[in-house]
Chains A and B, each alone.
Chain A
Amino acid sequence: MTVSASAASHVSLSNNTMIGSPDVVAFTKEDEYGQTVPEPLDLPEEFSIPLHPVADSNPWAKTSYAKFTKDFILISEFSEQVGPQPLLTIPDDPKVCGTFDLNYFSLRIMSVDYQASFVGHPPGSGYPRLSFVEDSRVVLGDSKEGAFAYVHHFTLYDLEARGFVRPFCMAYVAADEKKIMLQFQELSLRFSQASECLKAGNRRAFAKELQRKLQDLEYTHSVLQREEGLQREAGPQCVYSAHTVEKANELANVEKSIYEHRDLLKQISAYHRRPRRDPHAVSCQKCMSECLRECEELLDKYAKLANPLSYRGSGRGLSVDGRGEEGADELDDEVIKRRPSYTPQLIKAKSAKCFDKRLKTLQELCEETFYEATVELLKETERSFRGDLCYLYTRRLDKTLRRKLNIVNFLFEEDLNDNIEDEAETLRPFCAVNHAIDNYMHLNPPHITLGSEDLELDGLNPQGPQDTACETTTTQELGLLGSHLESSPSDQTFETQESSEGTKSFSSDKSLTDHAEKQESLASVNTEGPDPDSDLTPEPDQNTYPERESSSEDMETTAGEDDCDSGQDQTPVSLLEVVSELEARDGDEREAGTRSDLLVPMDSACCMAQDGFLYQATDSDAVLCLSPNSNPNPTQFLVVNQEPHALQPIQDEYTVGSSGSQGPAAGLELPVGPLGDSVSRTSLDDGSDCTMSASTGSDRAASPLGYGASVTLRQRKKAGQGALRFVRQYSFATQALWCLLSGRTLVVLGADEGRVRRLVSALALFVPNPGKTGERVQPWLSCPFTLTDLHRWKLIGLQRVASPAGSSTFYSLSRYSRYISILDADMKTLRCPQYRGQLLATMADHRTYIRHGSTFFLHLQSTLCRLAAQAFLLTFTHHLHLPVSPTEGPEAVEFRRRCFLQEQLGLDEEDSHVLLYLSRLITQRYLQPANISCCAAVPYFSFNYITSILYKI
């Protein structure tokens, strides 16, 4: 991908005048690939800020002329009646495409008909054959329209169509060519999945259609036979009238048709045995076997029918009168008994003309569940590719890194669990339908697969002697297997190459090329047929799964490297792109839904969508529309967008009640006093740093992806704003944060619920191991708490009541004062142990220059992440906890640990507490799964006797 690719694209970009034909972007692999592999963790060059402005310095110039606002998926068909036509866009919203001409673009993408289906009888075979066409993947560009597309061609079977096939294509259309090029692997994987799903459904539908047709034919046959018998009875024995002859011909035709259709059925049921060249075409064994079973049933049935038929056919002249009739009746009865749902119809001798009949729609061509699963898959694909390349890349990098740190992630990072499941899922042969049926609730939409190499391992099996491109790919795959060092412009390339070659002389001799390709593909299919190596029986496949899973980690990294490599080869791309900004706005609108009216003015207000600004607007507006204890509607709307996993507990909490146990999320959305804080917030936000807001803008573009993690990320970012305000407002902020980080429960005491909740949600960022839904945080509590509550919560918002009921609250506060720190939101005081460390001074500097909430959040995240890493080191360093020799006492170990903390990590006494606490959490977490019934079942909390001090602002 790479030099030639970018060169080609530059050519295509500069040649805006090349109107006649679509620019087929070369997607070649680099043969002389001899570069050293950069550190996968390093930021690739293209994402670093260039020192000198590049000549073409306007980062928006490239994509600004696209006529659509955001990427979308287009499904088109090359109809044999009307030619190329768009069928469906995802998202199904006319606004997305804007003024972009879908018809025109369909024409373009469909006219690169890569390998048209073979029609008619191949020489030497008596029956029409179904052509088994592999999908092809092409990257197309239309420089004039500013549109680039990953195009995935595939065919579906239709009994009424020409050659039984209908060509379709799915295209991922984006304004950024590079995005497509770099995401090619994953796009290809996902679209292959979708295509496989669609095709599986289509095969089933096709088999059903065949069955119906066969029934019709049998019925017609029996009727014709009866008529013929009657005629023969009536007429003289040896004289055949013209009518009789015609009938006999008709009968023969029907019989032939029956044979043909039976053969088709046989072919379609043999589909799974066919070797697949397409490495991505790994379909679900369950689906396969199901389909196979159905087909075989049908085959059995019609094979049985065929015997008496053929018997009668051969002995027709001699048969005793009426016998055929009886037989036919029997048959009829049998058929009707078996399939009461379908009454066979008489088929007329002459079929309707091609253009009279209505072609089936895509939905009709595919079984419903499969169709829906496909659409769902595509929607998911569209969602997961939102955002610009930079965002996608960083998210991926982030995810890879976090997966590596899975032992400490629970401390401060949001949950990654669903994604881990994902990983496992994508490694299995994908089956959207069975997932959808079996565990519909657990269907995990976001499949962030970094690469598809794992699936390519399969590609090794079925690949027979093919063209050279394919062979080189194979070797490359082997290389990949061996060292993971190479980048992987994988074997889809050969198709692209083919088609790019084919389109050189595109306009003139398209048909010729097509034909040549046709032949070639057919030949390869035929030769591959008996290849003993290429069977896709379930056993060897299943054997390979565990291997794949075990090596998944490496795979991931490899893919990350790929991105780096390919990124470096290409010219640096600008950090921000208009598209993403537009998307950001768009996404927000979509996501916010109910509050979109609030957001509308923002679009015009500033072109850089700013985090805080937007939220603020909604927040302060929310005051107007929400009463303090009503269900926070916006949140709920967000929640609905989440995937079912995360949704469950949160929704529960909402239904429980307002003062019950709402997650910190709830606190975030809570209405704010219309004056007071929101004013100060505005002033804070005004001086926001643009670069960050811009990049987070693209973050948000993808945040409405609609699954749990990102929503919490949003909320956490928003909490970052609150945290920043807290740090800047309260001089003793570090003390409070230290309490949280060292595991001392912090009680935020206040009379005003909104203020307390806001403080709690801001401070919740600092609670280690807050739990998936923030179980360790209680944003608002209005009754006295007990010791068990201290077990449960590390951060409590407590209502200050002046009534007698309040006295018991105060009593509990004083009673447990040795275990807690108390932040009085009304008096602005804090009572907690003294903190003299340096760690938090850098993390939460009172005079910080950070002005923007999300910037601060990122700053926090990085600091906390480092802390977590240090805690990890502390936890898993043997000699810091256990004696190295039997003579050594606990004091020596203690001393060593202290030395480590103070000298090697440079932490003060109090800072060490933080690390020790984190380490304890890690230990606990690590031990948990094993003895879940023992220690883990009973929570404990530990405390030190430290004197508290009262801090005032």
Chain B
Amino acid sequence: MLRWILGGREAQSSVELQVLKGHFDIVRFLVQIDDFRFASAGDDGLVLVWNIECLLVLERLSVWVSGGEELCIWDQNFQLLCHRQKHSDTGITALIELPKNCIAAAVDKDIVIYRLMVSADSSVTLTDISRCTDHHDQIRALINVNDQIFASGSHAGELILWDSSDFSNLAYEHILWEESQSSCQSEIKLAAPKPSEMSIQHLTTNGRLILAAVGSGLYVYDVVTKAVVAYRKAAHDSNVLHTMLLSDSELLSCSEDGSVRMWEIQDLPLAAEPASAGFFGMWSFGRSSKQPGPQAKKVLEIPNLKTLELIGDLIGHSGAIQMFLSFKEKGLVTCSTDHLLILWKDGERQSRLRSQALFQKLEENGGL
């Protein structure tokens, strides 16, 4: 998966970069539409629909979205069905759909569960049925793990698993890096880290594993065993903004430091070695070599703990990378505060496609 993007050691493989210009401000979100289309939305109020095959801006929408302080329900025709007034000062930070017509909304430190009731006259009502209040800080991320479980992460690094049906707390994991409170974590007392270092920016899951972007680190948690699988505190130079699990062993993260990194969950070697930034023999003038510092010095006592090894990174953006979107072998799109989207493609595949096009054209033209 996406191996090509890192280029094998054999020099033949290559990566192609294409810079997509269209936005005039920070590009925040990417949404995949189908196999080869995606939309990007930015602070400039534009939604652009792109085609990655021939890189065309297919559609240009200008949207204006009201803030997330109220909960509104819209139908397919964009008719407002019902809305609830705001709940707290911070408004709703995350929203997921749960089974049985339920909606979980993260409101400040609480998760509010609503039930959607469609009455006979087809009017929709929302009823507040439950409130989960186990978090001690603002909830930053909320995801469905699978049909039974959903998870939430807070600014203070708390990761809580909830049962989707009775909304009970299944597991509580406080990621304080080396000073984990859970019994299975090794205890390394450090000075209290700044909350921002522990803030869960993003959660992603493949149903079995939860990948949490915690500060500038990554944290992989197994839902089944309810235990941490692997983690790295300093995965990036700055806050991790978006992550993705490519497979059970590979993950991708992007950060404010402008890089996308690819990690592999590997069995712990005898002594964990820090991944070097100069992995590709980069030549550094100084700054960028501040890489994952020495970590995991202590012998970890968890039997199944593995390490996250950096296997490659993508550098191109000059600003924080907000989000990325994988099109599998077709490519990877990243969007950034530098107003650009970059499309990373497999050079080999592209050159093969171009060759095909060339001979096709040659045939059409009947020779040179």
- A interface residues (Cβ-Cβ under 8 A, vs B): 407, 786-788, 791, 810-818, 822, 831, 875-876, 878, 881-882, 890, 894, 898, 909, 913, 920, 923-924, 926-927, 930-931, 933-935, 937-948, 950
Residues on the A chain within 8 Å of B281, using CB? 947-948
Pick the contact of A787: B283, B288, B316, B362 (CB < 8 A). B316
Q: Which of B17, B55, B352, B357 has the most CB of A within 10 A?
A: B17
Please tell me which one of the listed residues A898, A926, A950 contacts residue B361 in the complex, with CB atoms under 8 A apart: A926
Residues of B with C-beta under 8 A to A923: 351, 354-355, 358
CB neighbours (8 Å) of A811 from chain B are 285, 287-288
Task: Show 26 residue pairs from A and B whose CB-CB distance is below 8 angstroms, ordered by the A residue.
Answer: A786-B318, A786-B338, A788-B340, A811-B288, A814-B283, A814-B284, A814-B287, A814-B288, A815-B258, A876-B358, A878-B359, A882-B355, A920-B351, A923-B351, A926-B358, A926-B361, A934-B56, A938-B18, A939-B19, A942-B14, A942-B16, A942-B350, A944-B13, A944-B14, A944-B15, A947-B280
**Could you tell me the distance between the alpha carbons of A831 and B288 in the complex, rounded to whole angstroms?**
18
8 Å CB contact of A938 from B12, B20, B285: B20
Instruction: Give bound CA distance, A931 to B286, whole Å.
Output: 43
The residue that A927 contacts in the complex, of B7, B317, B357, with Cβ under 8 A, is B357
**6 additional contacts, CB 8 Å, given A787-B340, A817-B282?**
A786-B318, A788-B19, A814-B287, A935-B55, A940-B18, A944-B15
Chain A minimum-CB-distance residue to B359: A878
Chain B residues in 8 Å Cβ range of A831: 283
Q: With A791-B19, A881-B352, A927-B358 known to touch, is A942 a contact of B347 (CB < 8 Å)?
A: yes
The smallest beta-carbon distance between B342 and chain A, in angstroms, is: 7
Q: How distant is the Cα of A930 from the Cα of B358 in the complex, in angstroms?
A: 11
- Quote the shortest CB–CB distance from A741 to chain B (angstroms): 15
User: Which of B17, B54, B286 meets A935, CB within 8 Å?
Assistant: B54
CB of B206 within 8 A of chain A?
no
Bound-state CA distance A565–B253 (Å) is 71
Q: Closest A-chain residue to B283, C-beta based?
A: A817
Contacts of A812 in B (CB 8 A): 318
B283-A948 in contact (CB<8A): yes
Contacts of A913 in B (CB 8 A): 11
How many angstroms between the C-alpha atoms of A202 and B338 in the bound complex? 66
Judge whether B356 is part of the interface by a CB distance below 8 angstroms: yes
Kindly list chain B residues whose C-beta atoms are within 8 Å of the C-beta of A935.
54-55
Which residues of A lie under 8 Å from residue B340 when comparing CB positions? 787-788
How many A-B residue pairs have C-beta atoms within 8 angstroms? Tell me.
Answer: 122
> Which chain B residues (328-362) contact chain A, with CB distance < 8 Å?
338, 340, 342, 345, 347-348, 350-352, 354-359, 361-362
Tell me which residues across on chain B come within 8 A of A943, comparing CB atoms. Answer: 14-15, 17
Complex CA distance for A330 and B36, rounded to whole angstroms? 83
Selected from A876, A890, A909, the residue in CB contact (under 8 A) with B362 is A876
For the residues of B in contact with A, the DSSP-based class is mixed
A-B residue pairs, 10 tightest by C-beta: A947-B281, A881-B355, A945-B7, A934-B54, A942-B16, A814-B285, A940-B18, A942-B347, A810-B285, A817-B283
Minimum CB distance partner of A935 in chain B? B54
Q: How far is the CA of A948 from the CA of B280 in the complex (A)?
A: 9
- B287-308 toward A: CB 8 Å interface, digit per residue (1/0)? 1100000000000000000000
The number of residues on chain B lying at the interface, defined by a beta carbon within 8 Å of a beta carbon of chain A, is 48
Distance between A598 CB and nearest chain B CB, rounded to angstroms: 44
Q: Which residues of B contact A894 (CB under 8 A)?
A: 12
Q: Are B316 and A920 in contact (CB under 8 A)?
A: no
Q: Give B339 Cβ to nearest chain A Cβ, in Å.
A: 11
A927 touches B362 (CB 8 A): no
Q: Is the CB of B284 within 8 A of A817?
A: yes
Residues on the B chain within 8 Å of A931, using CB: 54
A466-B338 Cα distance, complex, nearest whole Å: 79
Q: Does B368 contact A (CB under 8 A)?
A: yes
Residues in B with CB closer than 8 Å to A882 are: 352, 355-356, 359
B315 touches A (CB below 8 Å): yes
Chain B, range 315-330, C-beta contacts under 8 Å to A = 315-318
In the complex, what residues of B have CB within 8 A of residue A939's CB?
18-19
* CB-based nearest A residue for B280: A945
Contact A941 B17 (CB under 8 A): yes
Cβ A787 vs Cβ B361 within 8 A:
no
Instruction: Give every chain A residue within 8 A of B316 (Cβ-Cβ).
Output: 787
Against A, the Cβ 8 Å flags (1 = close, 0 = not) of B1-40 are 0000011000111111111110000000000000000000
C-alpha gap A940/B282 in the complex (Å): 22
Measured in the bound complex, the distance between the Cα atoms of B17 and A478 in whole Å is 57
| Contact A818:B284 (CB < 8 A) given known A791-B19, A882-B359, A942-B17 | no
A784's closest neighbor in chain B, by CB?
A: B318
By a CB distance below 8 angstroms, the chain A residues around B362 are 876
Complex: A876 Cα to B365 Cα, angstroms: 14
CB-CB nearest in chain B for A929: B361
> Which residues from chain A contact B287 at a C-beta distance below 8 Å?
811, 814
Query: Chain B residue with minimal CB distance to A920?
Result: B351
Taken together as a complex, chains A and B put the C-alpha atoms of A878 and B359 apart, in Å, by: 7
Q: A787 to B7, Cβ gap below 8 A?
A: no
Check if B7 sits within 8 Å of A407, measured CB to CB.
no
A937: B residues at CB distance < 8 A: 55
State how many angstroms separate the Cβ of A628 from the closest Cβ of chain B: 28
Q: Would you call B16 and A818 a contact (CB within 8 A)?
A: no
| Shortest Cβ distance from residue B86 to the other chain A in the assembled complex, whole angstroms | 41
**Which residues on B sit within 8 Å (CB–CB) of A941?**
16-17
- Contact B18 A818, beta carbon cutoff 8 Å: no
> Which residue in chain B gives the minimum CB-CB distance to A944?
B14
Whether B354 contacts A787 by the Cβ 8 Å rule is no
Cα–Cα, bound, A818→B314 (Å): 10
B282 touches A814 (CB 8 A): yes
C-alpha gap A935/B353 in the complex (Å): 12
> Whole-angstrom distance from the CB of A802 to the nearest CB of chain B?
13
How far apart are the CA atoms of A881 and B354 in the complex, in Å?
10
Contacts of B13 in A (CB 8 A): 944
* Distance in Å: Cβ of B51 to nearest Cβ of chain A: 9
What's the Cα separation between A502 and B287 when bound, in Å?
Answer: 91
Report Cα–Cα, A812/B318, bound state, in Å.
9
Partner of B358 from the list A813, A875, A933, A950 (CB cut-off 8 Å) is A875
A940-B16, A943-B15 as given contacts; A818 in contact with B347, CB under 8 Å: no
Give bound CA distance, A943 to B12, whole Å.
10
Q: Is the pair A909, B11 in contact by a Cβ cutoff of 8 Å?
A: yes
**C-alpha gap A674/B12 in the complex (Å):** 46
Query: Which residue of chain B is the closest to A938 with respect to CB atoms?
Result: B55
A727 to B310, CA, bound (A): 40
B345: chain A residues at CB < 8 Å are: 940
In the assembled complex, which residues on chain B have CB atoms less than 8 Å from the CB atom of A818? 280, 282, 315
- Residues of B near A787 (CB, < 8 A) are 17, 19, 316-318, 340, 342
Nearest B residue to A406, CB-CB: B368
Give bound CA distance, A810 to B286, whole Å.
9
Question: Contact: B19 with A938, CB < 8 Å?
Answer: yes
Residues 235-258 of B contacting A (Cβ, < 8 Å): 258
Would B358 and A944 count as touching, CB distance under 8 A?
Answer: no
| Nearest-neighbor residue (CB-CB) of B258 within chain A | A815
A930 to B354, CA, bound (A): 13
- The complex places the Cα of A875 from the Cα of B356 at a distance, in Å, of 11
B16 to chain A, nearest CB (A): 4
Chain A residue contacts of B11, Cβ below 8 A? 909, 913, 944, 946
Interface contact B354-A920, CB-CB below 8 Å: yes
- Provide the residues of chain B in CB contact with A878, threshold 8 Å: 359
Chain B: CB-nearest residue to A831: B283
Give complex CA distance A516, B354 in Å: 71
Which single residue of chain B is at the shortest CB-CB distance from A893? B352
CA distance A465 to B350 in the complex (A): 65
Q: How far is the CA of A813 from the CA of B19 in the complex (A)?
A: 19
Interchain CA distance A930-B287 in the complex, whole Å: 45
Task: Give bound CA distance, A948 to B54, whole Å.
Answer: 33
Report the minimal beta-carbon distance from B355 to chain A, rounded to whole angstroms.
4
A-chain residues with CB within 8 Å of residue B258 when the two chains form the complex: 815
CA distance A924 to B20 in the complex (A): 18
Which residues on the A side are within 8 Å of B17 (C-beta)?
Answer: 787, 791, 940-943
- Kindly list chain A residues whose C-beta atoms are within 8 Å of the C-beta of B288: 811, 814-815
Q: How far is the CA of A122 from the CA of B6 in the complex (A)?
A: 93
